[in-house]
Amino acid sequence: AQSVSQHNHHVILSEAASLELGCNYSYGGTVNLFWYVQYPGQHLQLLLKYFSGDPLVKGIKGFEAEFIKSKFSFNLRKPSVQWSDTAEYFCAVPASGGSYIPTFGRGTSLIVHP
Amino acid sequence: GAVVSQHPSRVICKSGTSVKIECRSLDFQATTMFWYRQFPKQSLMLMATSNEGSKATYEQGVEKDKFLINHASLTLSTLTVTSAHPEDSSFYICSAKDGNQPQHFGDGTRLSIL
């Protein structure tokens, strides 16, 4: 089964700083990858997903992620964060095959100071 | 967009009682619903998958007699934690999807057993 690991558990930034959150996956055949976000007091939302094609994936709210096969990575980036980006971010892979059932990483808590 | 409502958001009860958590899809038919559990500072873990009208499929290590899942309609699934004990205290979150569409998550339920 595939799994993911997120190495940054807590990240604190000032507004306008650039963001990169790490996500590494274990190889398990076809690679599909997701990033989810959970804002304080809200439910999980899908930020972006990679199934195939262009390895640079654009998501909502200015986020993007790049699939680098040689590094087994799918890092999440945003050039300039805002206070409203304060949230918990989860990298995920499908539990099996190409399903939409995700297996989540531990999550990264991002705090953006105004 | 698609909305999943989870109720209650917070429950505190005595050890030995049973607790029911509801998960409703408000504006779409949820052919499949998922139940996750998150321990503090750990990943979201898939507990079980349920398809409407069928018995739930539990992940390895999850006690089906302890965590009863019912998915009797296309808009409602329930998770009942039977004879709850302090070690069952956790954050439980449901998600729902229609066919091959991505999942939509509920807001989660914080369960505390005294």
pLDDT tens, position by position, B51-97:
888 889 898 889 999 999 998 899 999 999 999 999 999 989 999 88
Q: Is B70 on the interface with A (CB under 8 A)?
A: no
A103 CB near a chain B CB, below 8 Å?
yes
Residue B23 pLDDT exceeds 70: yes
The minimum CA-CA distance between A68 and chain B, rounded to whole Å, is 23
Q: CA A27, CA B101: separation in Å to the nearest integer? A: 24
Nearest CA in chain B to A36: B105
The 10s digit of each residue's pLDDT in A33-43 is: 889 998 887 77
Look at residue B22 in the predicted model and tell me its pLDDT.
96
- The closest CB to that of B108, out of A43, A95, A101, belongs to A43
Question: How far are the Cα atoms of A110, B51, B57, B80 from residue A87, in angstroms, in the given order?
Answer: 5, 31, 31, 29
Residue A95 has pLDDT above 90, yes or no: no
Beta carbons of A92 and A31 less than 8 angstroms apart: no
Q: With bands split at pLDDT 50, 70 and 90, how would you rate the model's confidence at A80?
A: very high
Q: Residue B21: CB partners within 8 Å, gap ≥ 6?
A: B6, B7, B8, B11, B78, B79, B80, B81, B92, B94, B109, B111
**Closest chain A CA to residue B6:** A43
Q: Is the pLDDT of residue A18 over 90?
A: yes
Which residue is listed with tokens 């953006």? Answer: A112
Is B100 an 8 Å CB contact of chain A?
yes
Task: Give the pLDDT score at A1.
Answer: 60
